[in-house]
Structure 1
């Protein structure tokens, strides 16, 4: 069943108004008609099967039929902190990371980041990234759209990771700390608090992290960790780490 994220203001006690690109997609692409059912959620708490009751120019109104009580969100909140990669690789990270189950994305600039950050283009880029996350969340039947932060500096990132229960610094030169036992031990500790564990996964750029960055990350409380003996592309590393954490947490058939 097709799913749409609708702003909470569009919901009433018994109906929801679907407008803009969502209404266009529903009517022009999906060829929806009066009586058809879709899923609408506000990304916060409401998630309903709804039945289309009227179709007007740019507006689809639907009546609330049945609430969906089972959330599809993982029991661990994972932020992908991704050093800005070349080309459209960040779009791939956001799309696939959303499908797998990332809670948020934090792009950042590190020493070997090749992309030249342009603040003037930030708003347009964030708008596109947000659209990609929304569409991927709808396709994957997520209950929430992941949060997207503006690109941060390296120093800002190291300040933000202090708020997490576990910050994993994925480093190709790390040889002793393996991901699996670390996840099991740390997440078990965090779960005892009764709140969803918060994990930050830090992924470097195409050229990797410098030794200075590795030392600074560890000093900030990050745990250097290996993703295996093979060198992964930056966009692949994010997906591998995310999948491993969710699997060990029992979120992916485990």
Structure 2
């Protein structure tokens, strides 16, 4: 596969071998103007749903690039899936987290309205969030983009979604706990779906903690320091990713 990767939404993917694809917008501009790639050169396309393929450029214009499919491959969905429910905040660091989430194989990102969240969660998913996920996928070559959900109903909606999705493990990383076990590879990286709920910069409210405990979330510690919410979320994904790569988990 080529080292140059671009995102092509699944609905625009060629329907049959040797069909042509059309790259438009920012992806076309990046290919044609930034990288100055032209006819005959090969690139890799990702669709965010596990599919990637090698394509040859047929025609390269400023905002439209025609490509011919040469081959494609499908990567199965991971056996061990991590979903991060991250309380919404206005923090500029969210973009960094979204890119790292793709690199670390997040299956889903749920942005939820916490009682102590700074700012209000938008009703719709912003285009910039999707663009940051795509940037992460192009950098690392992950053909799976995590699904983003916005849960304006707060922690109660997070719990309802966990029930509806039938998540296998419910984990509550929570700072300043006494007697809680550390988040270790034995708790994470297992086959199935693990949901990690991360509170806002202001912390969980007593109401939220009571609801999570009542819904069977396991409280764990991430260490002796208070971490920013994006740092805690990235750490959980890193531990999960590392544990999922261990031989015993990969064979499950």
Q: Is the 8 A contact 2:155 2:211 kept in 1?
A: no
Partner of residue 16, structure 1 = 21
Q: TM-score, normalised by structure 2?
A: 0.85
Aligned residue among 80, 91, 96 for 2:95: 91
Q: Is the 8 A contact 1:104 1:146 kept in 2?
A: yes
Q: TM-score, normalised by structure 1?
A: 0.85
Which residues in structure 2 correspond to 1:21-170 (within 5 Å)? 21-56=26-61, 58-68=63-73, 71=75, 74-115=78-119, 117=120, 119=122, 122-123=123-124, 126-152=126-152, 153-162=154-163, 163-170=166-173
Distance apart, 1:72 and its partner CA: 8.7
Aligned residue among 179, 182, 195 for 2:183: 179
Distance apart, 1:42 and its partner CA: 2.4
Distance apart, 1:235 and its partner CA: 1.2
Distance apart, 1:217 and its partner CA: 0.2
Distance apart, 1:213 and its partner CA: 2.0
CA RMSD, aligned part only? 2.4
State the SS of the aligned residue for 1:114: coil
Aligned length: 239
Q: Is the 8 A contact 2:88 2:121 kept in 1?
A: no
Q: Is the 8 A contact 2:81 2:193 kept in 1?
A: yes
Structure with more helix by fraction: 1
Distance 1:200 1:165 in 2: 8
| Deviation by residue 1:121-151 (Cα, 9 ceiling, x = unmatched) | x44x621111111111111111122211124
Q: Is the 8 A contact 1:73 1:101 kept in 2?
A: no
Structure 2 unaligned residues grouped into runs of 5+? none
Structure 1 unaligned residues grouped into runs of 5+? 192-196
Q: Is the 8 A contact 1:35 1:53 kept in 2?
A: yes
